[in-house]
Structure 1
Amino acid sequence: MRFTPPQDPPITFKARLHDARTATVIGRVLGLAIVVCFTTGVLSHYLQHPSAWLADRLPSRPYWGYRLSQGLHVASGIAAIPLLLAKLWAVYPRLFAWPPVRSVRHALERLSVAVLVAAGIFELFTGLLNTFQWYPWPFNFVPVHYAVAWLLLGAMLLHIAVQWPHIRDHFTRRSPGTLALPAADGPDRRQLLAAVAAGVGAVTLTTAGQSVTALGPLDLFAPRSPAHGPQGPPVNRTAAAARVTEASLADWRLTVAGPRPYALTLEELRALPQHEVTLPIACVEGWSKSARWTGVRVRDLLERAGGGPGAHCRVVSLEAFGAYRVMELGRLYAQDPRTLLALRLNGEVLSLDHGHPARIIAPNRPGVLQTKWVGRLEVA
């Protein structure tokens, strides 16, 4: 007698609203959030790591540009998390469909979904942990996050191409979808979408205050409050972390290398014409804070060293180590009248954690490039 092993009963899903229309409505909002997050992320990456041909072309205006773009990047990334979870809930019965592959087109669909889901979860949750400056993984966050962002974009475009007939049917309303619900379920769908919208609104409003001043009172769950910090703006990298001490600054002089090199003491810097600007510190983690900065224009220092109107410079910090210890200041930044070698913050002498005795402050720049504890400028 031939033995036939017992077969598991087919998986059934009794929950409602696992239909194509619900998935499409949530998906298009999720797609918009991912596009905004991707675009602003790529912009941030090239502002932080410009190639040689791009460095002198990066614009210094509008001065608030990076504050806006990075605020959008973090806000759209956080908003995409509940959208991604809702999208997965709407479509997860399809993940258990049998047979797993029925055709070449179906194989492409399954592949795009697998890559899209994996890359989306990786990008959003590692990005969220980055806002807390917590890195519980062995790889370098910046290049991996950047590379997977392109993978996520490609998987999303492939998924849209494969699913285009269903998306088109939803927009033209020729067909409600292969898993359509009766018209009586319309109110349930609206309630579900309203709940998703409320969740997205809640996480956005309670975190966006770190970069949107008007939403500051609602800033309940953001990892950093820009309202709390020495002399106003918060500090990411302290002098202790950079191994800069008051003792190591006892004989500090600013060295400016160029065709006519020179060096200045702090008192000699203070004796030069001082300028005051109001500029934000905008951090890659999403928070930003405007402040009043007073100091000497960088372009005046470069001109004194023999740099012409097209000069740019390299800025070298006194910190012992760090990925941004040496920073390139492109031509448009170096020649902008708002770019200062700042000596004072909000009317006070810079504290050690804010870069005493001198730091760079420039418009439309990531905070990691606003070099602190400046020891040397090199005219290029």
Structure 2
Amino acid sequence: MRTTTRTPRPRTPFSRLRDTPLPAFTGRLHDPRTATAIGRWLGGALLVCFVTGLVSHFLQHPPGWLFGRLPARPVWGYRVTQGLHVATGTAAIPLLLAKLWTVYPRLFAWPPVRSVPHALERLSVAVLVAAAMLEVFSGLLNTVQWYPWPFSFVPVHYAVAYVLAGALLLHLAAKAPQIAAHWTRRSPGTLALPGEERDGPDRRALLAGLGVAVGAVTLTTAGQSFTPLAPLDLLAPRHPGHGPQRLPVNRTAAAAGVTPAALRGWHLEVTGGATPLRLTLPELAALPQSAARLPIACVEGWSVNAHWEGVRIRDLLRRAGAPPGSAVRVVSLERHGAYRVMDMGAPYAWDPLTLLALRLNGAPLAPDHGYPARIIAPNRPGVLQTKWVARLEVR
């Protein structure tokens, strides 16, 4: 009897991958109920972060239709919204990591794609996760002013926020029935849904630990803007009251290229009005002085109240014969930088609290705080409180 030998088929990379044992996840908390419970917290943090981020962006880069309409009140408005933006963005990091921990076993589900709708769902989840990770971690690095990427932070951060919002809405729409089924708390006496554990000590312990982690991160960073928590400000990159004249500094005079030689013979020009002005520092100091207690709040999240003294911008505009309600362009001695030139709409320029500040906390401005003169206005981002002012142009 003749025997034939069959030649085995060569193994392809796909067949080897198919036969490779997949990780087994036996933890009881990788379930929809836990993911939904954490997702509620994460969704709330991202919502507040998104809304306050829009406020921050429009205050820094107002579109044409909004320029001249932004309010100068309340004076603490930007301090609160930006403080919330950074605080909720920081709190979202442990929440996002915990959320990914609850769902990551599904990354190993086989087959990876079961149908066209399933492929689209997985693609949307990939976009959602990538956008969320990029958004929160790039924002975190921005608070310490570290930019290890080749792109400009502000436009990318702003654009990715919309990508994240769209991907999140799509994800919520696709998962709405499952989210609704697992939204309410299940007591030990109720039946669990398929693939879900009843609410028990394990889940409660996880959520309690996560709450403690979020609270710890918030308490040790929020003090940079919420001064009652300043004694607990251990992890934030800025500390209220630390720096020259008890005020932090983001950009020094040396970094801006403002040297003692550049300040020699300094004078302020006010142009564009019927009576252009050219004022030296003693002449400015001889004009009627005003004082205001205003916060300076930076996009990195820190803010501090300070006592400012100087000449009202509106008084300078009137002396220069500027038409009432005109806008102002402020030009700095700074040689380089995205905010060397700043435009200020009429609500800010003519506000009685907006000053060309000459003194800070009872002393002349330190060089790193903008000596000899800087702008301070209510409800404005710190990057728009221009330092080392050389010229005001009536627009």
Please, what TM-score do these two structures have when normalized by structure 2? 0.92
8 Å CA contact 1:238, 1:353 repeated in 2:
yes
SS across alignment from 1:255: strand
1:252 to 266, 276, 301: 266
2:8 to 3, 10, 30: 3
1:17 to 10, 22, 29: 29
SS across alignment from 1:18: coil
Corresponding residue of 2:140: 128
Corresponding residue of 1:230: 244
Corresponding residue of 2:39: 27
Query: CA distance change for structure 1 residues 306 and 178 in 2, over 3 Å: closer, same or farther?
Result: farther
2:33 partner letter? R
2:250 partner letter? N
**Alpha-carbon distance in structure 2 between the residues aligned to 1:96 and 1:329:** 54
How far is 1:158 from its partner?
A: 0.6
1:119 to 124, 127, 131: 131
Corresponding residue of 1:158: 170
Pairing of 1:156-235 with structure 2 (within 5 A): 156-171=168-183, 176-181=192-197, 183=198, 186-235=200-249
Pairing of 1:258-269 with structure 2 (within 5 A): 258-269=273-284
**Alpha-carbon distance in structure 2 between the residues aligned to 1:271 and 1:178:** 79
2:110 to 94, 98, 101: 98
1:67 partner letter? R
Where structure 2 has 5 or more consecutive residues not aligned to the other structure, the ranges are 1-5
2:281 partner letter? L
CA offset digits 1:187-208 (Å, max 9, x no partner)? 1111110011111001010111
SS across alignment from 1:336: coil
1:341 to 341, 356, 359: 356
**Alpha-carbon distance in structure 2 between the residues aligned to 1:61 and 1:177:** 51
Q: How many residues align?
A: 378
8 Å CA contact 1:315, 1:329 repeated in 2:
yes
2:212 partner letter? A
Corresponding residue of 2:3: none
Matched, 1:241 2:255: yes
Q: CA RMSD in A?
A: 1.6
Corresponding residue of 2:155: 143
CA offset digits 1:317-374 (Å, max 9, x no partner)? 0111110000001110011111000000011011111111100000000101000010
Moved more, 36-45 or 98-107: 98-107
**Alpha-carbon distance in structure 2 between the residues aligned to 1:132 and 1:275:** 34
CA offset digits 1:264-320 (Å, max 9, x no partner)? 111111111111000111010000111000001101111121223311100000111
Corresponding residue of 1:363: 378
1:277 partner letter? A
Corresponding residue of 1:312: 327
Matched, 1:52 2:64: yes
**Alpha-carbon distance in structure 1 between the residues aligned to 2:313 and 2:245:** 23
How far is 1:178 from its partner?
A: 4.0
Moved more, 198-207 or 49-58: 49-58
Matched, 1:83 2:88: no
1:290 to 295, 299, 305: 305
Larger radius of gyration: 2
Query: CA distance change for structure 1 residues 10 and 231 in 2, over 3 Å: closer, same or farther?
Result: closer
Percent of aligned pairs with the same amino acid:
68
8 Å CA contact 1:339, 1:361 repeated in 2:
yes
Corresponding residue of 2:392: 377
**Alpha-carbon distance in structure 2 between the residues aligned to 1:227 and 1:305:** 37
8 Å CA contact 1:20, 1:176 repeated in 2:
no
1:363 partner letter? P
8 Å CA contact 1:37, 1:72 repeated in 2:
yes
**Alpha-carbon distance in structure 2 between the residues aligned to 1:115 and 1:12:** 26
**Alpha-carbon distance in structure 1 between the residues aligned to 2:184 and 2:340:** 55
8 Å CA contact 1:21, 1:176 repeated in 2:
no
**Alpha-carbon distance in structure 1 between the residues aligned to 2:127 and 2:192:** 27
2:8 partner letter? F
2:288 to 251, 273, 280: 273
SS across alignment from 2:178: helix
8 Å CA contact 2:128, 2:168 repeated in 1:
yes
Please, what TM-score do these two structures have when normalized by structure 1? 0.96
**Alpha-carbon distance in structure 1 between the residues aligned to 2:232 and 2:59:** 30
CA offset digits 1:158-216 (Å, max 9, x no partner)? 110110011111236798554212x3x61111111001111100101011110010000
8 Å CA contact 1:256, 1:376 repeated in 2:
yes
CA offset digits 1:92-146 (Å, max 9, x no partner)? 1111112222234423321221011111111111111111101111111111111
Where structure 1 has 5 or more consecutive residues not aligned to the other structure, the ranges are none
8 Å CA contact 2:33, 2:196 repeated in 1:
yes
8 Å CA contact 2:36, 2:183 repeated in 1:
no
Moved more, 336-345 or 251-260: 251-260
